[in-house]
Structure 1
Amino acid sequence: MNESLLSYYEAIERASSDMLSAARDGNWDEVVKLEGACAVLISQLKQAAKDQALKAEDNQVKSKIMQRILLNDAEIRHLAEPWLEDLDNMMHGRSKTLH
């Protein structure tokens, strides 16, 4: 049963990796879609974690997975910064001028 709990972390990592690939391609619609999938997986993980716990030896695997997810997230945020700045400028009526 612990394998299924760990499988949630692995699925979240896969979705996170897919999000990073989409962000690198500039496919922000796909990033948002995958972010929604991650949210569902996280919710399912929280529910499953109420009924079971990871084995001690699985905690190290979980930790490595979480580190990779955080690195993916950091790169996605870095890639999104220019896009978010453009969105903020559009919402506040500012536009970029090209010279």
Structure 2
Amino acid sequence: MELLDFYKAIETKSTDMLQAAMSSNWQAVADCEKACAVLIGELRAQAEAQTLSAQERKEKTRIMQRILRNDAQIRLLAEPWLATLEYMGTAPAGSALH
């Protein structure tokens, strides 16, 4: 498996996790999170042996941005009080949602 394939697989699981959260299927969210953890571990191991081209680094950046957006949406669904705090401009430090 190529290094960029790991990023794509993590993105797919992240999207699956968001869809599960949107359906309030928290067991599926937890299962996807575990799968992501395994993929991230494999990615780290492969990253030591492989490098990305300039074009692949750009794609990696796009993938990571989508993963971060998914993560923010999942957190809003899992902890709706964060959205209220963000709206009021009183979100706790370190809880940036964008």
Bin the TM-score by the shorter chain.
0.7 to 0.9
Aligned to 1:31: 29
Deviating above 4 A after TM superposition, structure 1's stretches of 4 or more consecutive aligned residues are none
- Distance in 1 of aligned mates of 2:10 and 2:23: 20
Greater relative CO, 1 or 2 (CA 8 Å, sep 6+) = 1
- Distance in 2 of aligned mates of 1:57 and 1:27: 36
TM-score by length of 1: 0.79
Larger Rg: 1
Unaligned runs of 5+ in 2: 82-98
Identity %: 54
Aligned to 1:54: 52
**Greater share of residues in helix:** 1
- Distance in 1 of aligned mates of 2:80 and 2:55: 41
TM-score by length of 2: 0.80
Equivalent pairs counted in the alignment come to: 81
- Distance in 2 of aligned mates of 1:71 and 1:56: 23
